[in-house]
Amino acid sequence: LHPQMDATGYSEVVIEGARHNGLLGIVDARQVADSLRLLKARGCELAQDPSTKLLLYFKQYGPFSGGSLVHPHMQIMALPVLSPEMQLQVDRACVHQTQFQ
C-alpha cells in the first residue's frame, strides 16, 4: 500500500538558550528572533540538498509533548518525501499564486 524506503533526511535541534525554563513567552524577544533566524538559515541550507522535498519546523514543550530534551528547543527536519496531503496543499498554493500574481 505505502512505498517504503531507508531512513534518509536530516533532523536538527536548535537549543534556544542556556536556561532550562526559558519559555517563549518570557524570554527576551531578541533570543526568540535569533532562534527563528537560525532555523531559517538552517532550512535554506538543508533545502540545497536535491533530495529534500519537505522542511518541517516544530517546537516541543512540556512532559506530554513527547520531547526528550529539557532545554527549550526547536527542531527542523528535512525529508525526501511529501505525503499526498502535503502535495495537495503545495499544488493548491501554486494554483493560488498563479491566479493572484
Task: Say what the pLDDT of residue 70 is.
Answer: 65
Task: Say what the pLDDT of residue 35 is.
Answer: 87
Task: Say what the pLDDT of residue 65 is.
Answer: 67
Instruction: Retrieve residue 79's grid coordinates.
Output: 525529508
**Calpha distance 77→58 (Å, rounded):** 9
* Residues labelled as active-site residues: 73
The helix (H) or strand (E) run that includes residue 56 is strand 54-60
Task: Say what the pLDDT of residue 12 is.
Answer: 92
**Calpha distance 71→17 (Å, rounded):** 7
pTM here is 0.75
**Calpha distance 44→56 (Å, rounded):** 12
**Calpha distance 101→98 (Å, rounded):** 6
Task: Say what the pLDDT of residue 47 is.
Answer: 95
**pLDDT averages per 10-residue partition of the chain, 101 residues:** 78 81 77 90 95 90 66 88 90 93 80
Task: Say what the pLDDT of residue 15 is.
Answer: 82
| Residue 35 burial (C-beta neighbours within 10 Å; 0-12, 13-18, 19+) | buried
